[in-house]
């Protein structure tokens, strides 16, 4: 069935974003200070439940006009730090990662009150299932932006599946939403970011975060590294608890022209609205800086039209999508009896 290009918000606010270690300052602030060790490994379990009701009106008659559906996805993702690289121009590190989907599965059902399997099949479910056992690599630069991605297009040709993964990486590697000077308990900070890749321009993602408190971490010790310990015991570390509220909105009237450049170059015009809201609650180790757990809820409402400038034919899409996501840091498997590291 047709789907909206739902914005993949900080599903993991963040694996790599908050994989940057916290360093305490003299004034009781903590400051993000990335220091990745080559050979280190992190594993995260990501569980997502999505409920969506989407409808498409177009000149082409189709039995795939949309409707309510529910989807669950489950991932076990391993992140390996492959290398720390430097350029001649700067001493700052580029970090090369490999992401491996040790488990990857999705199920969708049509309807909400009496769900049934989708008789047409679900290409997105199939594409997500294909990630299991596959890997791709990406590099994060000193500005916390993605410098390169390699191998993702060899795993899937499904644009929505690929965009979902890339959106995770973008969020994971983007530390710009946390003040560089550090934060202390009780402090709040805000950020605005333009969202791209949507059928509407001028859509803004606005966040407000609060550093609530410190409390004992409730997940296993997060690090399994060739250069550090990785015990299977329950962690006794303290974690920083950070609450983030976010809103999505578009500047201007919903009837005004909101055509992105790539749509305009293809002779299309777009207008409409795209709104959303939600929150995430993250627990981050104050010892290692790694994300230990995250819970997020998000709702998005879309109502937009895409019109051909030449023929005047239009596609009108309306829908609401609600997503709940739970992320947990999990332990790496114990090393074999020979003492050789696993993986």
Alpha carbons within 13 A on the beta-carbon side of 80: 15
**pTM exceeds 0.75 for this model:** yes
CA distance 26 to 300: 41
The answer to whether 316 and 305 have CB atoms below 8 angstroms apart is: yes
Question: Which distant-in-sequence residues (6+ apart) come within 8 Å of 333 by Cβ?
Answer: 342, 343
26 membership: H or E segment, kind and range: none
Encode burial over 171-210: b for 16+ CB neighbours within 10 A, e otherwise: bbbbbebbeeebbeeeeeeebeeebeebbbbbbebebebb
Per-residue pLDDT tens over the stretch 73-129: 998 989 898 998 876 655 567 889 999 999 999 998 886 554 555 443 478 889 999
Question: Which distant-in-sequence residues (6+ apart) come within 8 Å of 340 by Cβ?
Answer: none
* ∠ CA 247-253-255, rounded to 5°: 125
pLDDT of residue 263: 93
The answer to whether 76 and 330 have CB atoms below 8 angstroms apart is: yes
Beta bridge mates, 51: 70, 322
Structure tokens at 160: 């929505």
Question: In terms of Cα–Cα distance, which of 184, 185, 186, 204 is closest to 194?
Answer: 204
Q: Domain extents for the chain?
A: 17-330
Question: 202 falls in which pLDDT band (50, 70, 90)?
Answer: very high
Out of 2.30.230, 3.40.50, 3.30.70, 1.10.3470, select the CATH number for domain 17-330: 2.30.230
Poorest-confidence range of 136-140, 206-210, 233-237?
233-237
Burial of 19 (0-12, 13-18, 19+ CB in 10 A): buried
Average pLDDT, the chain: 77
DSSP structure string for 35-59: ---TT-EEEEEEEEEEEEEEEEE-S
pLDDT of residue 286: 81
Pairwise pLDDT comparison (230 vs 173), residue with the higher score? 173
Structure tokens at 16: 């790599």
Question: In terms of Cα–Cα distance, which of 304, 277, 282 is closest to 293?
Answer: 282
The answer to whether 103 and 76 have CB atoms below 8 angstroms apart is: yes
pLDDT at 3 over 80: no
The answer to whether 240 and 30 have CB atoms below 8 angstroms apart is: yes
CA distance 138 to 99: 8
CA distance 203 to 135: 32
């Amino acid at each position: 069935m047709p789907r909206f290009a739902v914005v993949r918000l900080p599903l993991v606010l963040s694996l790599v974003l908050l994989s940057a270690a916290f360093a305490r300052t003299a004034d009781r602030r903590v400051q993000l200070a990335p220091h990745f060790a080559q050979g280190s490994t992190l594993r995260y379990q990501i569980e997502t439940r999505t409920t969506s009701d989407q409808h498409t009106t177009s000149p082409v008659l189709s039995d795939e006009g949309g409707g309510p559906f529910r989807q669950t996805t489950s991932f076990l993702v391993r992140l390996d730090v492959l290398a720390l690289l430097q350029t001649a121009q700067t001493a700052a590190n580029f970090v090369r990662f490999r992401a491996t989907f040790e488990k990857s599965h999705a199920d969708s059902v049509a309807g909400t009150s009496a769900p049934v399997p989708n008789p047409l099949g679900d290409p997105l479910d199939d594409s997500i299932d294909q990630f299991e056992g596959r890997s791709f690599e990406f590099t994060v630069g000193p500005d916390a932006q993605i410098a390169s991605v390699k191998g993702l297009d060899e795993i899937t040709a499904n644009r929505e599946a690929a965009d979902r993964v890339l959106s995770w990486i973008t969020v994971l590697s983007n530390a710009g939403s946390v003040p560089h000077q550090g934060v202390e308990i009780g402090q709040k900070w805000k950020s605005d970011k333009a969202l791209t890749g949507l059928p509407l321009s001028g859509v803004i993602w606005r966040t407000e975060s609060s550093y609530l408190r410190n409390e004992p971490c409730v997940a296993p010790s997060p690090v399994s590294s060739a250069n550090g310990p990785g015990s299977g015991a329950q962690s006794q570390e303290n974690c920083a608890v950070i609450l983030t509220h976010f809103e999505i909105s578009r500047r201007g009237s919903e009837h005004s022209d909101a055509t992105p450049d790539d749509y305009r170059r293809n002779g299309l015009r777009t207008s409409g609205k795209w709104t959303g809201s939600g929150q995430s609650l993250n627990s981050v180790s104050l010892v290692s800086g790694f994300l230990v757990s995250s819970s997020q809820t998000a709702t998005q409402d879309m109502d937009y039209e895409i019109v051909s400038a030449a023929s005047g034919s239009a596609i009108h899409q309306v829908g609401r999508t609600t997503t709940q996501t739970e992320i947990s840091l999990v332990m790496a498997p114990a090393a074999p009896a020979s003492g050789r590291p696993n993986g």
